[in-house]
A and B are shown apart, each in its own frame.
Chain A
Amino acid sequence: MTSRTGAPLRALGPAGPGSAGPGSEGQRPPWPVVLLALYPSAWRARYGEELEWLVSDLQEGGRAPLPMAFDLFFGAVSAWITTGRGALMSERSKDALISVLWSWVAFAAIGAWFGHDLGIYPTAISAQQIAILHPAVPDAYNVLMAAGSFGVLATAVAALAFAFDEIRYAIKTGRRRLFVLMAVPVVVAAAWLGGIQLLPANPTGGALGLAVGWLLLGVAGIAASTQAVVTVIRTAEFEPRTWRIGGIAAAAVTAAMVVSTVATIVWGVVERINQSHTGDASGWLIVVAVMAVTSVRAVIALLRVSSRFAPGAADRSPAST
C-alpha cells in the first residue's frame, strides 16, 4: 500500500498502551471522555470515537487527566465555533447534494421509462379522445415535459461547473483516477445507447430476454455512473462558486421533481377516470410512488441544509477555509 504522495504506507505508529480500547473488557473510559458531550453532535459523530480512543491511550501512556480535560473543554468551544463555518456543515451540504443527485437520477430513470412507454395512453386514438374530453391531461403532459427539461438543464449547468473544477483539481494534484471516474457516465451512456440500436424495435422471444437484460444493464450503468460522480464530488475540491451553483441546481432539480410528480398524478388520475381507458393502472402507480419518494427525499435533504446553500454559506465550503 502506498500513500498518495507515492511513499510507502509506513507503520502507523504505536497502537497505544490502551489498545484494548475505552470501555472494553471491564475497562472504564477515562473521566475526561465525558467532556465529549460538550462537542457539537455532528462533530462527535465524525470524530467522537477516535477522540475517545486517543484520550484513553494518552491516559494509559501517563498523560494526566486534568490537563486533558481542560484541553477537551477548549477543543469543544473551538469545535462549536468552527462547525458554524467549517467542515461539518460543508460535509452536510455535500451529503445533501449527493442525496439530491441520487434522488434525481432515480426520478429521471423512472420518468424516462414512463415517458417512453408505460401505457398511459393505450392508443393514439384514445389519447386524442382523452385530450378532447379532459384538457388537463395534455396540460399536465406539457408541465411534466417542461419541468423535466428544466431539471435536466439545471443538472447540465451544475455538471459543467463541477467538471471544470474537478479537471483543474485532477491536473493540479495528479489524480488521474478522477479522469477515469469522470469518463464512466459518458462511456456507459455511449455503450448503452449504442447497444440499444442493435436490438430489434419490437423484440419477441429470445430478443425480448436480451432487451430486458439490456434494460437491467442500463439500470446498473446508471447506478455505476452516479456512484462515479459521487466519488468525484467527495474526492475533489471545488470552488465556493461551484458549490453555490450546485446548491441552486439542487433546489431547481428538486422543484422540478415536485412539479413533475404533481403533473404525473394529475395526468394519471384524469386519464384513469376517463371511461374510454381500460388499461392497467399498476405501472402508473409504481411511477408515481417512485417519483413521490425520490421527491420527498430530495426535499428533506435540502431542508436539512437549506441555510448552507445560501450565498455566503457556500463561501464556507472546504475550498475556501
Chain B
Amino acid sequence: MEFTEPVVLVLTSLADGPKHGYALAKDIESFAGAKLGPGTLYGALSRLEERGWIEALPAEDRRRPYRITASGAESLTRHLETAQRVASTGLSRLELRPMP
C-alpha cells in the first residue's frame, strides 16, 4: 500500500489511541498543521481499513472510532524509520554542502 501523506498522518494520529473522524482531523491539524478535508480523510480511512491497518470500533454517539491494528503499527514503524533515515541523511548532506 502506498504511504500517501494522509495515510501516514492518520496512522500517526491513531498511534496513541482510537479516534473518530473529527478527533482525527483536529489531532492531525494540531501536530502536522494539515487540514485534511472530509473526503481525503475518509478516503484514507477506507483504504487503511481495507488493508487491515486500522479497524473500526463500535460507534459511540453515532461517531465511529478507529484504532490502529498491530500490522498497521508495524507498517507505520517501518515507514517512519525509513523516513527518519532519509531525513537524517538529507539534513546532514545539506549541512556539508558548501554554501554558494
Give the B-binding residues of A (Cβ under 8 A): 3-5, 7-16, 19, 21, 32, 43, 46-47, 49-51, 53-55, 57-58, 61, 63, 67-68, 70-76, 78-79, 82, 86-88, 90, 172-175, 237, 318-319, 321
Is B91 close to A, CB under 8 A?
A: no
Instruction: Tell me, in angstroms, the Cα distance from A237 to B67 when the chains sit together.
Output: 17
Contact of A82 among B16, B25, B46 (CB under 8 A): B46
Give the docked Cα–Cα distance between A11 and B24 (Å): 12
- Say yes or no: A79 contacts B26, CB within 8 Å: no
Contact flag A79-B43 (CB < 8 Å), given A12-B20, A13-B19 = yes
Q: Which residues of B contact A237 (CB under 8 A)?
A: 52, 71
A87 touches B18 (CB 8 A): no
Q: Are A55 and B38 in contact (CB under 8 A)?
A: yes
Size of chain B's interface in residues, with CB distance under 8 A? Answer: 42
Given A14-B26, A86-B46; 6 other pairs, CB 8 A cutoff: A4-B67, A13-B27, A14-B22, A15-B22, A73-B39, A321-B47
**Majority secondary structure, A binding face:** helix
Counting residue pairs across A and B whose Cβ atoms lie within 8 Å, the total is 139
**B34 is an interface residue with CB less than 8 A from chain A:** no
Tell which of A9, A50, A76 touches B17, judged by Cβ atoms closer than 8 Å. A9
CA distance A14 to B27 in the complex (A): 10
Proximity string of chain B (9-22) to chain A, C-beta cutoff 8 Å, 1 when within and 0 when not:
00000001111111
Contact B40–A75 (Cβ < 8 Å): yes
Give CA–CA (A15, B20) in the complex, Å: 8
Asked if A321 contacts B21 (CB within 8 A), the reply is: no
Partner of A12, one of B55, B60, B71: B60
Q: List 11 A-B contacts (CB under 8 A).
A: A4-B68, A12-B18, A14-B26, A51-B38, A71-B38, A73-B39, A75-B43, A76-B39, A79-B46, A82-B46, A237-B71
Query: Lowest 5 A-B CB distances belong to which pairs?
Result: A75-B39, A13-B23, A71-B37, A87-B50, A10-B17
Contacts of A173 in B (CB 8 A): 69-71
Alpha-carbon distance A270/B45, docked complex (angstroms)? 58
A175 to B55 alpha-carbon distance, docked (Å): 14
| Minimum CB–CB distance for A155 against chain B, Å | 25
State the CA gap A5–B18 with chains docked (Å): 11
CB-based contact B18/A3 at 8 Å: yes
Q: Closest B residue to A86 by CB, please name it.
A: B50
Contacts of B17 in A (CB 8 A): 3, 7-12
Q: A49-B62, A68-B37 are in contact. Are A54 and B71 (CB under 8 A)?
A: no
Nearest neighbor of B21 in chain A, beta-carbon distance: A54
Asked whether any CB of chain A lies closer than 8 Å to the CB of B73, the reply is yes
- What does the 1/0 interface line of B38-62 toward A look like (CB < 8 Å)? 1111110111011110010001111
